[in-house]
Amino acid sequence: MTLNQLLYFHAVAKTGSYSRAAEESDVSEPVVHRAIRRLEKTCGMKLLERVGNRVCLTKGGRAIYDYAAQIASLADLTAQSLVEERGLISGQISIGAGTPVGLYLLPDILAKWMAEHPRVNIAVTIAEGKEVHRLLLEDRLDLTFTSVSEPAPGLRRELIFADALVVVAPLGHPFAQADLLSLVELSQERTILPSRGSSIRSEIEQVEFQYGVQLKVVMEVNKQDSIKHFCKAGVGLAILPKSVVIDEVASGQLHLLNVEGFPRSRPYFLVYRAGKPLTPEIQSLLSAVRLWVEERHRGWQPLTVKPGLKPHDLSAPPD
């Protein structure tokens, strides 16, 4: 059993393909095939099998995969430490994120950080929290940013910041002048909501159950950015994360309403594989994330938000 055999095995299992593993490892495909055959011979069992168009782990392969992943991470760390000794950070980071983080936070965070670290390549996958967790468990992502509070077994989470679910109205809506609205009043107005099954929709349904009301849903949309634009066009009110609408509220394109039960805290977590060392480039990126969150969101993203606050100033901390 050699280091290269374990590295090639890890690459095939992670990519689901001999050809992609060979490309990632900068060797020919026959070299990868030979290494896997020799590793299987040493282990005395099949480690990989083809299922459809994808190469998957067998039961024996799953038994050694975590060890191979740790060895691959240590090999990366060794290479990175040598680069770091020369004063450079390089490598590749695969990030998964839910919609608010992926569309409204990561671009600002990554733009500055990538300009300072031009030798690092970034791959971003935008998907629902459960999907990015699955990709993370399959070792196809290095880390994720999601609002899913209970990660799958084998994953660790770190609280990064808290957003908040808020209610917004289009320009000219009569609710814009109200000091405080009840959920009964809200339920009488046309409302646009995320599609059923999404984490945000589930939170809204919990509010409906808690207060014994049912919102008048005139449209369901699976993209939060689209909900925002439908709201701006006057189709109805919308309930969205504050990070999605903060720029439109600040510029006067949408009204932030003061509604019973809102804003509702919505924490976001950094999630990564347990036991997998964080490479220097990932550690550097995480430091940049924490700094950016502290600078931009200080005062408007508390973890505990009291209902009934007057949210006239987005940058002002709650009383």
| 319 residues of the chain, pLDDT tens digit each | 888 888 888 989 888 888 888 888 888 889 988 998 999 988 888 989 888 888 899 888 888 888 888 888 888 777 666 655 554 555 788 898 887 777 777 787 788 888 888 888 889 998 877 788 888 888 888 888 887 666 677 788 877 777 889 999 999 899 988 889 999 999 999 999 999 888 889 889 999 999 999 999 999 998 888 999 999 999 999 999 988 898 899 999 999 999 998 888 888 888 888 777 777 788 888 888 777 766 655 544 433 333 333 333 333 322 2
- Residue 66 φ/ψ, nearest 5 degrees: -60, -35
> What's residue 296's pLDDT?
59
Whether 282 contacts 93, CB under 8 Å: yes
Quote the pLDDT of residue 192: 96
| CB proximity list for 194: less than 8 A, separation 6 or greater | 200, 201, 204, 220, 221, 222, 224, 227, 240
| Residue 92 β-bridge partners | 121
Please work out, in degrees rounded to the nearest 5, the angle formed at the alpha carbon of residue 156 by the alpha carbons of 287 and 76.
60
Single out the residue of 180, 199, 191 nearest to residue 215, CA to CA: 191
pLDDT at 134: 83
The gap from C-alpha 183 to its chain's centroid, in whole angstroms, comes to 30
pLDDT of residue 84: 56
Query: What fold, for 91-161+267-297?
Result: D-Maltodextrin-Binding Protein; domain 2 (3.40.190)
Give start-end residues of each CATH 3.40.190.10 domain in the chain: 91-161+267-297, 164-265
Q: What number of CA atoms fall less than 13 Å from residue 39's CA on the CB side?
A: 24
Consecutive H or E run containing 190: strand 190-194
Of 261, 231, 260, 234, nearest to 244 (Cα)? Answer: 231
| pLDDT recorded at residue 204 | 92
Pick the CATH number of 3-85 from 3.10.129.10, 1.20.1510.10, 3.90.1200.10, 1.10.10.10: 1.10.10.10
Of 152, 151, 159, 137, give the one whose Cα is nearest residue 62.
137
> According to the model, what pLDDT value does residue 306 have?
35
Q: CATH for 164-265?
A: 3.40.190.10
Task: Give me the pLDDT at residue 53, please.
Answer: 85
What's the pLDDT score for residue 175?
92
